[in-house]
Amino acid sequence: MIDTHIHLSHFLFDAQFPYLALDRDGNGVIRQGTREQLIEELRAAGISCCLDPGIGITSNEKLLALAEQWPGFVYGAVGVHPTRTWEYKTLLQGKKHTVRLHWNERRKLDEFLKHPAVVAVGETGLDYHHPRKEQHRLRQMAWFLYQLRLAHRHSLPLILHIREADADALRILRGCRHWLHGGVCHCFCGTQETAAAYTALGLKLGIGGSLLMNSPRTHGLEQAIVSTPLESLLLETDGPYVLPSCPQLDQKKRRKVRNTSLILPAVAGRIAELKKIPVEEVLRVTSENAVRLFGLPAQTAAPAAQEPCKG
């Protein structure tokens, strides 16, 4: 199993913390531990590697330090999250923003992208979930285009964060199609039509905790998964966020418990159920997809059948 999106370097994984594990049937337990203990448990549970995406220049530094601490298990993506673009300068000309980074920030980004553990650019994209002024959306678009160019220049795939902004994101991606070296629309929870639009561009869909939520939009996601070839799907969690629905988690606990790669057996199990195929096929194909997309070592696609929450 490969978790293609988990923020292991996030401060919510610092010190001691409660975290969730699920088996293939969705039965869960909540455990307590440190980042190091969690990573050891992930390895023992059959998680072959994890991809930690950046959200800003400081977080990029932290995730690369973690990748150096756990070589071959933690890989990184370097980028600026759309909701963090306000932290960096852009030049406004009329209604057009242009990214204006300090030379030292540009140098850092280029150095980060040359790091051997970096396998993608991101996470980048557009996030319209919270009400924003038009100017802020234009700033996001400027950063999106800047990172599309970075990915093209370094021949790297993209990790896309698209939230309530599919129309604008697809318009930009189609216009820059010649720059694309593959990528994944992470935390996908859209419709069949939206799924088809992204996969037509050669992009994968990242499927995680959203599939295991008791939510009205889950039905649309299920239909999208049924209609999308398994070769276009990846497993992810977006830990410490996007906790699935679970009897062990009441509203109070949900605010404290971290999501982790230990829910992947349940995610894979639900995909297998929807597609009416063996779960082993889901684990094998999604791992092979990740290996090809991110250029990971072939051995990381090796199957594992352990179920972490038992015992």
Say if residue 161 carries a ligand binding annotation.
yes
pLDDT of 2 higher than 60: yes
pLDDT of 11 higher than 70: yes
Say if residue 23 carries a ligand binding annotation.
no
- 254-302 pLDDT per residue, tens: 788 999 999 999 999 999 999 999 999 999 999 999 999 999 998 887 6
pLDDT on residue 108: 82
Nearest to residue 248, comparing CAs of 32, 21, 25, 28?
Answer: 28
Instruction: Report yes or no on whether pTM surpasses 0.75.
Output: yes
pLDDT of 307 higher than 60: no
DSSP state of 83: G
| Residue 135 pLDDT class (50, 70, 90 cuts) | low
Say if residue 136 carries a ligand binding annotation.
no
For each of the domains in the chain, give its residue range(s) and CATH number, in order of start.
Answer: 2-301 (3.20.20.140)
pLDDT of 96 higher than 50: yes
pLDDT on residue 309: 53
The pLDDT of 104-133, averaged and rounded, is 87
Residues recorded for the chain: 311
Tell me which of 28 and 176 has the higher pLDDT: 176
pLDDT of 187 higher than 80: yes
Token pair in block for residue 264: 């992947």
| Residue 249 pLDDT class (50, 70, 90 cuts) | confident
- Tell how strand 90-93 and strand 17-22 pair up: unpaired
pLDDT on residue 308: 47
Say if residue 186 carries a ligand binding annotation.
yes
| Distances, alpha carbon 33 to alpha carbons 17, 93, 236, in Å | 6, 50, 21
Residues contacting residue 304 through CB under 8 Å, at least 6 positions apart: 1, 45, 46, 47, 48, 283
Q: What are phi and psi of 177, to 5 degrees?
A: -55, -35
DSSP state of 35: H
Nearest to residue 207, comparing CAs of 227, 181, 234, 230?
Answer: 234
**Considering only 6-20, 132-146, 195-209, 235-249, which range has the smallest mean pLDDT?**
132-146
pLDDT on residue 305: 45
What percentage of the chain exceeds 90 in pLDDT? 72
- 143-156 pLDDT per residue, tens: 899 999 999 999 99
Nearest to residue 72, comparing CAs of 108, 39, 113?
Answer: 39
Nearest to residue 84, comparing CAs of 140, 135, 6?
Answer: 140
What percentage of the chain exceeds 70 in pLDDT? 91
pLDDT of 69 higher than 70: yes
* Spatial contact of 133 and 127, defined as CB atoms under 8 Å apart: no
